[in-house]
Amino acid sequence: MTKREMFVAIANVAEVAANAEMVDFLNHQIELLDNRKSSTSKTPTKTQKENASIKATILDVLSEAGHAMTISEMLQDERLSAYSNQKMSALLRQLGDDGTKEVHKFKDKKVTLFEIAESDDDAQFLDNEVTV
């Protein structure tokens, strides 16, 4: 039961409904909940905008390299050197977890590497090519 539903249920109790002060309080609380800014805002926050440009730079660095890279190797590029290992890790995880799955993460002998993910169309084409 949500907070709003709980306030409505309390307001419907006969003893509470008889007390005007309580009804006013509950109506005010319901109004505050209705006016609350939605957590799913349509415009991205300042940090989300900054992260989007950093993600684009990460994709540029990975595509220019043409091979899998560690975060430490990516940080050696002057465009990404200002960011921490932790921030890079979080952004790379987002690039791999979101619906586009732009970055592929894998381990090679305890070393985590990242590369540009192949599109599903390419993977299907390669699968078909191998089986023919």
* pLDDT digit string, tens, across residues 53-79: 999 999 998 888 888 889 999 999 899
Checking if the pLDDT of 86 tops 90, the result is yes
46-123: what fold? Arc Repressor Mutant, subunit A (1.10.10)
More confident residue, 38 or 85: 85
**Quick check: 92 and 40 in contact, CB under 8 A?**
no
pLDDT in tens, 11-40: 888 888 898 999 899 999 888 888 876 555
At residue 38, the pLDDT reads 59
Res 102: pLDDT: 87
- Comparing CA positions, the residue from 115, 119, 90 lying closest to residue 105 is 115
Query: CA distances (Å), 21 to each of 13, 18, 28, 112, 119, in order?
Result: 14, 9, 11, 61, 61
pTM value is: 0.58
Q: Tell me the average pLDDT of the chain.
A: 82
Residue with tokens 């003893």: 15
pLDDT at 128 over 70: no
